[in-house]
């Protein structure tokens, strides 16, 4: 016992002296290149670039508009530029912003910055991230934009109350448990901020759970008009029928035999998860597979060949079946099984069978393109149908899909489709989509 304490004390002194030397380099380059490299990897795991880079802008120079219920918030310049970025931030200032949601000037940040998730990041990893942002990122003089929120809602002091109510305590460096399950939990809850999209939000726009204490955690949320699916063990609309290998393949290549990434997830795969090591992806997969289903005792969907036979014989002439044959079957096939890793299956698909059909409607109206990844470089695309199909026709087709090949989900009405169409970005509506929605 005494020996153990002694070792701990020595270790503490050693890490303190390591801390002293590493704060010294922050002022006097050259930086510890290994630490910078680790920080770069962690920045990818945290997908900082996705939010902190405007369309066509310089990496990390900020300015990306992010919609909140009260108006537009713009991400900050987090390059080491001293006037416009975070060049004057000490490691402590950086930590305050990243994990506590507090700016250097003391104002609270909008939780559009996922600091409630990043609160889980351990101090040793914050140090590496800081080293990277100070030494591995190019300074850009892009000025920050204010918020597009009208006064008095634009006042930041209510955010400090939000922070006190909803933000969790930040993590401390503890004894390292390197088991895959703990590592996976750390990445999912923390830097990966998977819950920022995949967990439903409450009345205060807070994530209903930040950990697996509640089955709300990762049970599905709506983001930018897409449903970020349930990632728990549910067999029909979750990952119950995915193996760990299926999850790793999806995160690495953006596709697998069940599905292909689209919407916000295509960016997550392209910017973040494809760059993670196989070891970390396996850890994430192991952790996700440990999450209990929201609803117990629901049987997985079984494939049923009846629809396939009826379509082949021409015995189903309903508008939904005809619409499917004319618009979708060329790629997704009359069997509904598609072609693996090319055209995703519509049978037994979580997107198709989810209670909330928004993703299904939106992908039909808007089309989609798989992410580009090193391990899956061919970007197959799905055409947009907003200018070819009416609300009624889309409703008939998706209702048909939701009740074919063994799928078992509720009907979709023309007014459900109209709601999604109204929210489509202006660039989609009226753009000539041709056949394949390639940019």
The residues in 377-436 that bind ligand HEC, with binding defined as CB under 6 A, are 380-383, 385, 397, 401
CA dihedral 105, 111, 116, 121 (to 10 degrees): -60
When asked if residue 76 is in the footprint of ligand HEC (CB under 6 A), the reply is yes
- Judged by CB under 6 A, the residue of 53, 199, 327, 433 near ligand HEC is 327
Pair 358, 222: CB distance under 8 Å: yes
**344 part of the interface to ligand HEC, by CB under 6 A:** yes
Part in contact with ligand HEC (CB under 6 A); list of ranges 168-176, 188-196, 312-320, 426-434:
188-196
Among 270, 321, 365, 370, binds ligand HEC (CB under 6 A): 370
- Residue 235 as a binder of ligand HEC (CB under 6 A): the answer is no
Q: Which of 35, 36, 73, 131 is in the footprint of ligand HEC by CB under 6 A?
A: 73
d(CA 374, CA 251): 12
Question: Applying CB under 6 A, which part among 69-77, 162-170, 413-421, 425-433 lies near ligand HEC?
Answer: 69-77
Q: Is residue 119 part of the contact set for ligand HEC (CB under 6 A)? A: no
388, 393, 398, 403 alpha-carbon torsion, rounded to 10°: -150
**Which residues share a beta bridge with 376?**
373
Quick one: which of 137, 139, 167, 363 contacts ligand HEC (CB under 6 A)?
A: 363
Residue 46 interacting with ligand HEC (CB under 6 A):
yes
Let me know: does 92 contact 141? Beta carbons within 8 Å.
Answer: no
Which of 332, 337, 362, 421 contacts ligand HEC by CB under 6 A? 332
52 contributes a contact to ligand HEC by CB under 6 A: yes
Please give the Cα distance from 17 to 255 (Å, whole number). 46
Instruction: List the interface residues with ligand HEC, window 273-292 (CB under 6 A).
Output: 273, 284
Among residues 36, 48, 321, 417, which is the contact residue for ligand HEC, using CB under 6 A?
48
Confirm or reject binding of residue 261 to ligand HEC (CB under 6 A). yes
Instruction: Tell me the window of 203-211, 228-236, 299-307, 311-319 that interacts with ligand HEC (CB under 6 A).
Output: 228-236
Assess 260 for contact with ligand HEC (CB under 6 A): yes
Distances (CA, A) of 241 to 232, 238, 250, 291: 10, 8, 14, 13
Give the Cα separation of 92 and 288 in Å (integer).
32
Cα separation of 385 and 327, whole Å? 9
Q: In 271-365, where do the E strands start and end?
A: none
Q: Which one among 58, 103, 145, 163 touches ligand HEC, defined by CB under 6 A?
A: 103
φ/ψ of 360, rounded to 5, equals -60, -45
Stretch that binds ligand HEC, among 18-26, 161-169, 260-268, 314-322 (CB under 6 A): 260-268
Name every residue whose Cβ is closer than 8 Å to that of residue 189 and which is 6 or more positions away in sequence. 117, 120, 195, 210, 211
Binding to ligand HEC (CB under 6 A) within 203-222 occurs at none
Euclidean distance between CA atoms 436 and 71, whole angstroms: 33
Q: In whole angstroms, what is the distance from residue 88 CA to residue 121 CA?
A: 22
State the nearest-atom distance from the C-beta of 391 to ligand HEC, in Å.
Answer: 13
Question: Residues in contact with ligand HEC, total (CB under 6 A)?
Answer: 76
| Residue 171 binds ligand HEC, judged by CB under 6 A | no
């Amino acid at each position: 016992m005494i020996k153990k304490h002694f070792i701990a004390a020595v270790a503490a002194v050693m890490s303190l002296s390591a801390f002293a030397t590493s704060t010294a380099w922050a002022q006097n380059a050259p930086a510890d290149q290994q630490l910078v490299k680790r920080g770069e990897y962690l920045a990818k795991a945290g997908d900082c670039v996705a939010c902190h880079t405007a369309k066509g802008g310089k990496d990390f120079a900020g300015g990306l508009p992010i919609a909140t219920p009260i108006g537009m918030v713009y991400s900050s310049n987090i390059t080491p530029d001293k006037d416009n970025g975070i060049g004057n931030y000490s490691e402590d200032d950086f930590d305050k912003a990243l994990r506590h949601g507090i700016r250097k000037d003391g104002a609270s940040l909008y939780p559009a910055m996922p600091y409630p998730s990043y609160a889980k990041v351990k101090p040793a990893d914050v140090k590496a991230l800081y080293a990277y942002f100070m030494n591995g990122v190019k300074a850009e003089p892009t000025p920050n934009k204010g918020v597009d929120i009208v006064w008095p809602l634009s006042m930041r002091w209510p955010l400090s109350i939000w922070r006190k109510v909803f933000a969790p305590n930040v993590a401390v460096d503890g004894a390292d448990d390197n088991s895959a399950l703990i590592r996976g939990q750390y990445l999912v809850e923390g830097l990966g901020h998977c819950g920022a999209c995949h967990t439903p939000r409450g009345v205060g726009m807070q994530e209903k759970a930040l950990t697996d204490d509640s089955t709300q955690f990762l049970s599905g949320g709506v983001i930018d008009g897409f449903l970020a699916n349930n990632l728990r063990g549910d067999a029909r609309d979750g990952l119950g029928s995915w193996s760990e290998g299926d999850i790793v393949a999806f995160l690495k290549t953006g596709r697998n035999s069940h599905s292909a990434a689209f919407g916000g997830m295509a960016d997550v795969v392209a910017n973040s998860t494809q760059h993670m090591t196989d070891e970390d992806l396996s850890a994430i997969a192991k952790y996700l597979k440990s999450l209990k289903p929201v609803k117990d005792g629901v049987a997985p969907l079984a494939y049923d060949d009846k629809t396939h036979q009826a379509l082949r014989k021409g015995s189903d002439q309903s508008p939904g079946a005809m619409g499917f044959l004319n618009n979708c079957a060329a790629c997704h096939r009359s069997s509904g099984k598609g072609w693996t890793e090319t055209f995703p299956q519509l049978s037994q698909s979580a997107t198709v069978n989810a209670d909330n059909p928004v993703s299904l409607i939106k992908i039909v109206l808007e089309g989609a393109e798989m992410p580009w990844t090193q391990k899956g470089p061919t970007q197959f695309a799905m055409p947009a149908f907003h200018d070819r199909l009416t609300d009624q026709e889309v409703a008939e087709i998706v209702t048909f899909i939701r009740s074919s090949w063994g799928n078992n989900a509720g009907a979709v009405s023309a007014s459900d489709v109209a709601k999604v169409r109204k929210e489509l970005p202006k660039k989609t509506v009226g753009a000539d989509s041709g056949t394949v929605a390639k940019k």
